[in-house]
């Protein structure tokens, strides 16, 4: 539907008032094109992260050390698939289908989180991902439950509940290793050493380099800046690391009484940008496996389309 300029002004005023009053914007409401595009960008990136994020942990399903650990890990990886599907559905309510988003991912035209371009070298990495990566995800995503766009906000409620279980299982796994043999403790420490800095990068570039934050916060898509959330995460992790009996690999980490926060060392933003440019340790492997999985699933899409066509005829 096209609108005249004065009509658009009225619609924009209604939209601005709804955002200001913390009301939810719903799919049929008028919204600025740039608001829609920003949401599709963020939700697509988020959905792709969940789907690509299945790979590093799935790497360990066949090598889990017990039936209990294997059942937990399989449930977690399946949860990530479910999160991806809720998020693709949320993007669909904005008029962008899952096929289009997946095509863009496979063509390298849409992003997924930098964190999933690092390898899972030992079983302890499953614990470090749960504790740190899911922990960072929760810190970032709990405020998204209050996102101004209704379908995204509602999807986040369930996702956050499941991420809390994921974080907890990672913590418990690392605690078991940390209190185990000397070799197990060393394996847990090595995993934390490798995952700590990439986890801090998950929150995105520093505020003064974040292209989208100011507008996304004005629209109440994002509720906090990248640096605010990163600081919150560091403050949460320091006492948890102490309880785990593990150290965080940052000599500059110390409590700052005046700020009421932990100070931490400089993040290697060159590494972050290299990973975003496709030059991380596992970028090629991750996107290659995703494309192969998509091609191998072609018969499922064809069968579903044939079933839908037949069903449509039968009920016509």
Contacts with ligand FAQ by CB under 6 A lie at 41-42, 45-46, 49-50, 53, 80, 111, 113-114, 129, 133-134, 137, 140-141, 201-205, 210-213, 216, 222, 226, 276
Least Å distance between CB 112 and ligand FAQ?
Answer: 7
CB nearer ligand FAQ, residue 116 or residue 262:
116
CB nearer ligand FAQ, residue 134 or residue 250:
134
Contact criterion met (CB below 8 Å) for 214 and 205: no
Closest residue to ligand FAQ: CB criterion: 53
CB nearer ligand FAQ, residue 182 or residue 208:
208
Q: How far is CA 254 from the centre of its chain?
A: 28
CB nearer ligand FAQ, residue 185 or residue 223:
223
CB nearer ligand FAQ, residue 44 or residue 188:
44
Least Å distance between CB 169 and ligand FAQ?
Answer: 11
Least Å distance between CB 209 and ligand FAQ?
Answer: 7
CB nearer ligand FAQ, residue 59 or residue 186:
59
For residue 227, give both structure tokens: 């640096």
User: Helices 67-92 and 150-178 sit at what angle, rounded to 10 degrees?
Assistant: 160
Least Å distance between CB 38 and ligand FAQ?
Answer: 8
Least Å distance between CB 53 and ligand FAQ?
Answer: 3
Q: Which residues contact 299 (CB under 8 A, 6 or more apart)?
A: none
The alpha-helical segments, DSSP class H, found in the chain are 5-20, 33-52, 54-58, 67-92, 98-106, 124-128, 134-141, 150-178, 182-201, 213-218, 226-244, 269-274, 283-296, 298-315
For residue 189, give both structure tokens: 């420490």
Least Å distance between CB 49 and ligand FAQ?
Answer: 3
Give the CA count within 13 Å in the CB-facing half-sphere of 80. Answer: 25
| CA-based nearest residue to 175, from 126, 245, 121, 72 | 245
């Amino acid at each position: 539907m096209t609108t005249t300029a004065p009509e658009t002004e009225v619609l924009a005023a209604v939209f601005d008032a709804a955002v200001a009053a913390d009301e939810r914007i719903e799919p049929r409401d008028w919204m600025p094109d740039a608001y829609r595009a920003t949401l599709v960008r963020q939700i697509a990136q988020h959905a792709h992260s969940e789907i690509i994020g299945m790979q590093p942990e799935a790497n360990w399903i066949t090598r889990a050390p017990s039936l209990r650990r294997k059942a937990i890990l399989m449930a977690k990886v399946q949860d990530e698939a479910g999160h991806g599907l809720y998020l693709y559905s949320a993007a669909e309510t904005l008029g962008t289908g899952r096929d289009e988003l997946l095509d863009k991912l496979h063509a390298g035209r849409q992003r997924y989180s930098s964190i999933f371009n690092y390898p899972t070298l030992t079983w302890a990495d499953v614990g470090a991902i749960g504790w740190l990566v899911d922990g960072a995800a929760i810190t970032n995503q709990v405020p998204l439950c209050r996102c101004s766009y209704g379908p995204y906000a509602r999807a986040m409620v369930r996702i956050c509940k499941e991420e809390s279980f994921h974080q907890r299982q990672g913590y418990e796994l690392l605690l078991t290793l940390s209190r185990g043999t000397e070799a197990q403790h060393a394996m847990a420490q090595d995993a934390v050493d490798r995952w700590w800095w990439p986890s801090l990068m998950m929150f995105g570039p520093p505020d003064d380099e974040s292209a989208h934050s100011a507008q996304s916060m004005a629209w109440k898509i994002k509720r906090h800046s990248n640096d605010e959330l990163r600081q919150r995460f560091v403050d949460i992790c320091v006492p948890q690391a102490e309880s785990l009996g593990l150290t965080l690999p940052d000599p500059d980490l110390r409590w700052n009484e005046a700020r009421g926060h932990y100070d931490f060392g400089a993040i290697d933003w060159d590494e972050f940008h290299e990973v975003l440019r496709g030059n991380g340790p596992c970028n090629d492997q991750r996107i290659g496996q995703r494309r192969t999985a998509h091609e191998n699933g072609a018969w499922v899409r064809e069968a579903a389309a044939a079933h839908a066509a037949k069903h449509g005829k039968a009920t016509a």
